[in-house]
């Protein structure tokens, strides 16, 4: 039977279409590429957070929940984070902290958090993203503490001497294994379920990041998990309740707190263990990191439970000093640390004088009023006035342990414990800053603001110490570095 020209043309066209059609792989052939093709928004989000070269840094993408669609992104070093589709944009969960990726600020903070995860393990042999160095829009934060004129170069530099105690402590804090500390909080949740609900795995896995993979990783860190089990077993009475989980989101603050213009809403509670709202402190820990508004709010909160102190000239002077803290300023050129060394920027010199004055006034006020010391420290630890006494974000207990998670101790945040913490906390008022950019390019200037912070190693406060009268002097000689961001309006 003769073949018509129409059939010949049809055959030729079909062959040409087959040749032109791109070869597609199935889920079984390449699961990661299949997911990236299917969820276009996911690929665009990863490109935004990690540049178009993101595939060089990840080894797998898994769909871990169908609704809302949740992806687990596994990095080359075994670390991971989650992306959850929320309708208009994704929400990222990195090291227990959530970032809703509709806001530029949240996106930039999420980039930095992912960058921290990528530091673990062996580095990749990759060329990296195309072009020059890339950074978040705000630039990296710079911590600039008081810098005496006589400061020498660090050891190893030309003319360098041994590191001072302040620099050693700063280095320790900067290099703290935040991932392991975050895992310890999850280990406490896992230990709680194993002690109180040993046969209820289904309920345990409802708690967000406590996935089967996470459970395996936690148990692999034997010292950490044994420390968590010890903490739960030794404090069963305090931890009784219906569930346990790690807090992962921001909470509403009270109208009292908002009246000062304070906007930071990071919860003081790290984990809910039964009925206890627990702040977990492993090794050196920060009690607060407060800008001008947050400092004023903390001061006012302390006065609510230390009546009469507000009439003291010392308090009024402290209040006036903090009211002059810098909310936002700009260097003429270069970093804040460089300007401090040169001593020629009048605005920075004035702010630095206020910082030193505030530290001295706080030292004197802590020493002269036990009530104020207790109230200030108690608010910094619990957030009672910040969130309200019934809020999950308001901590009721501090679980302290050494950096290697041994000898965990549970303390109720009461007047006795706050008194001892107030004796040991190291207060520092310093500059925090970030590089200024204009149309994506660094201008060479830095934006800066004042920050009041306090640090302590609560694991050193032994139970027997809590029944003795401690030293009332407030050390202020250590330049510490905090990890909590300060929100402010420009």
Domain boundaries, the chain: 25-118, 178-246, 255-467
Q: What angle do CA 201, 72, 113 make, to 5 degrees?
A: 115
**Structure confidence at residue 459 as a pLDDT band (50, 70, 90):** low
- The predicted pLDDT at position 142 comes to 41
pLDDT score of 478 more than 70: no
428 and 480 Cβ atoms separated by less than 8 Å: yes
Question: What's the pLDDT score for residue 338?
Answer: 86
pLDDT category of residue 457 using cuts at 50, 70 and 90: low
Cα–Cα dist 324/129, whole Å = 43
Contact partners, residue 82, CB within 8 Å, separation at least 6: 64, 70, 71, 72, 73, 92, 93, 94, 209
Provide the pLDDT for residue 216: 83
| Residue pLDDT, tens place only, 6-30 | 666 667 666 665 555 444 455 666 7
Give the pLDDT confidence of 209-222 residue by residue, as tens digits. Answer: 677 777 888 888 88
Instruction: Between 132 and 53, name the one with better pLDDT.
Output: 53
Determine if residue 200 is left, alpha or beta; phi over 0 gives left, psi from -120 to 50 gives alpha, anything else beta: beta
The closest of 290, 309, 420 to 358, measured between CA atoms, is: 290
CA distance linking residue 398 with residue 490, whole number of Å = 35
In a 13 Å sphere around the CA of 75, the CA atoms on its Cβ side amount to 22
What is the four-CA torsion angle of 181, 183, 188, 193, rounded to 10 degrees?
180
Residue 133 pLDDT > 60, yes or no? no
pLDDT at position 400: 87
- Highest mean pLDDT among 98-102, 307-311, 395-399 belongs to 395-399
**Mean pLDDT (whole number) for 257-285:** 88
Residue 234 in tokens = 């030794």
235 in Cβ contact with 411 (< 8 Å): no
pLDDT of residue 139: 43
**Averaged pLDDT score across all residues of the chain:** 77
> What pLDDT does residue 461 have?
58
Residue 289 near residue 486 (C-beta atoms within 8 A): yes
Q: pLDDT higher for 441 or 309?
A: 309
- CA separation (Å) from 30 to 10, 27, 70, 199, 275? 34, 5, 19, 37, 46
Alpha-carbon gap, residue 171 to 189, rounded angstroms: 30
Q: C-alpha dihedral over 206, 210, 216, 218, to 10 degrees?
A: -150
In percent, how much of the chain has pLDDT > 90? 28
Q: Residue 29's pLDDT is what?
A: 62
Distances (CA, A) of 173 to 35, 144, 158, 242: 39, 14, 25, 35
Most confident of 85-94, 120-129, 202-211: 85-94
Quickly state the pLDDT bin for 234 (edges 50, 70, 90): very high
Q: 393 near 437, Cβ under 8 Å?
A: no
pLDDT for 339-387, tens place per residue?
Answer: 888 888 899 999 999 999 999 999 899 888 999 999 999 999 999 999 9
Mean pLDDT check: name the lowest of 73-82, 112-121, 152-161, 263-272.
Answer: 152-161
Bigger pLDDT: 371 vs 205: 371
Q: What is the average pLDDT across 73-92?
A: 88
Q: How confident is the model at residue 411 (pLDDT cuts 50, 70, 90)?
A: very high
Confidence category of residue 165, pLDDT binned at 50, 70, 90: very low
Q: At 461, is the secondary structure helix, strand, or coil?
A: coil
CA distance 476 to 363: 8
| First-residue to last-residue Cα distance in the chain | 83
- 238 pLDDT tier (thresholds 50, 70, 90): very high
Query: Please, are residues 408 and 227 in contact by the beta-carbon 8 Å criterion?
Result: yes
> Using an 8 Å Cβ cutoff, are 381 and 279 in contact?
yes
Report the C-alpha gap between 397 and 93 in whole angstroms.
25
Average pLDDT over residues 423-446: 82
DSSP annotation string for 414-445: SHHHHHHHHHH-EEEEEEEEEEEEETTEEEEE
Q: Return phi, psi of residue 93, to 5°.
A: -120, 110
Cα 264 to Cα 289: distance, rounded to the nearest angstrom: 10
Of 201, 266, 273, 304, nearest in space to 483 by CA:
266
Is the distance from CB of 462 to CB of 410 less than 8 angstroms?
A: no
What value does the CA radius of gyration of the chain take, rounded to a whole number of Å? 27
Quick one: DSSP state of residue 479?
-
| Residue 114: predicted pLDDT | 92
């Amino acid at each position: 039977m003769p073949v018509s020209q129409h059939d010949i043309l049809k055959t030729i066209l079909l062959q040409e279409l087959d040749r032109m059609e791109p070869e597609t792989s199935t889920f079984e052939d390449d699961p990661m590429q299949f997911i990236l093709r299917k969820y276009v928004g996911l690929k665009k989000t990863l490109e935004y957070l990690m540049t178009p070269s993101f595939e060089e840094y990840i080894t797998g993408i898994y769909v871990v929940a169908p609704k809302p669609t949740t992806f687990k992104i596994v990095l080359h070093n075994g670390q991971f984070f989650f992306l959850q589709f929320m309708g208009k944009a994704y929400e990222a969960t990195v090291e227990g902290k959530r970032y809703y990726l509709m806001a530029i600020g949240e996106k930039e903070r999420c980039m930095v958090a992912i960058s921290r995860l990528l530091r673990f393990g062996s580095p990749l042999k990759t060329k990296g993203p195309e072009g020059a160095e890339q950074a978040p829009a705000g630039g990296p934060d710079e911590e600039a503490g008081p810098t005496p004129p006589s400061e020498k170069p660090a050891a190893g530099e030309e003319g360098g001497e041994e590191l001072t105690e302040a620099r050693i402590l700063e280095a320790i804090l900067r290099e703290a294994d935040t991932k392991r500390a975050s895992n310890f909080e999850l280990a406490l949740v896992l230990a709680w379920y194993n002690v109180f609900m040993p046969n209820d795995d289904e309920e345990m896995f409802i708690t967000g990041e406590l996935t089967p993979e996470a459970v395996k990783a936690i148990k692999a860190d034997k010292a950490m998990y044994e420390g968590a089990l010890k903490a739960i077993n030794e404090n069963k009475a305090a931890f009784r309740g219906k569930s346990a989980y790690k807090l992962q989101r921001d909470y509403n603050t009270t109208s009292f707190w908002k009246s000062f213009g304070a906007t930071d809403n990071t919860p003081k509670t790290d984990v809910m263990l039964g009925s206890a709202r627990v702040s977990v402190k492993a090794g050196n820990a920060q009690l607060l990191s407060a800008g001008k508004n947050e400092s004023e709010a903390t001061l006012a909160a302390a006065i609510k439970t230390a009546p009469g102190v507000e009439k003291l000239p010392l308090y009024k002077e402290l209040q006036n000093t903090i009211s002059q803290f810098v909310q936002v300023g700009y260097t003429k050129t270069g970093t804040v640390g460089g300007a401090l060394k040169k001593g020629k920027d009048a605005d920075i010199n004035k702010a630095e004088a206020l910082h030193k004055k505030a530290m001295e006034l706080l030292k004197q006020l802590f020493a002269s009023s036990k009530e104020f010391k207790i109230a200030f420290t108690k608010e910094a630890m619990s957030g009672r006035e910040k969130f309200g006494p019934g809020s999950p974000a308001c901590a009721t207990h501090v679980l302290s342990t050494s950096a290697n998670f041994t000898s965990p101790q549970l303390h109720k945040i009461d007047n006795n414990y706050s008194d001892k913490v107030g004796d040991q906390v190291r207060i520092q008022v310093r500059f925090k800053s970030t590089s200024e950019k204009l149309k994506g390019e660094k201008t060479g200037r830095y934006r800066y603001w004042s920050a009041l912070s306090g640090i302590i190693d609560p694991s050193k406060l032994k139970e027997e110490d809590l029944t003795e009268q401690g030293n009332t002097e407030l050390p202020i000689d250590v330049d510490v570095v905090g990890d909590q961001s300060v929100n402010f309006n420009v």
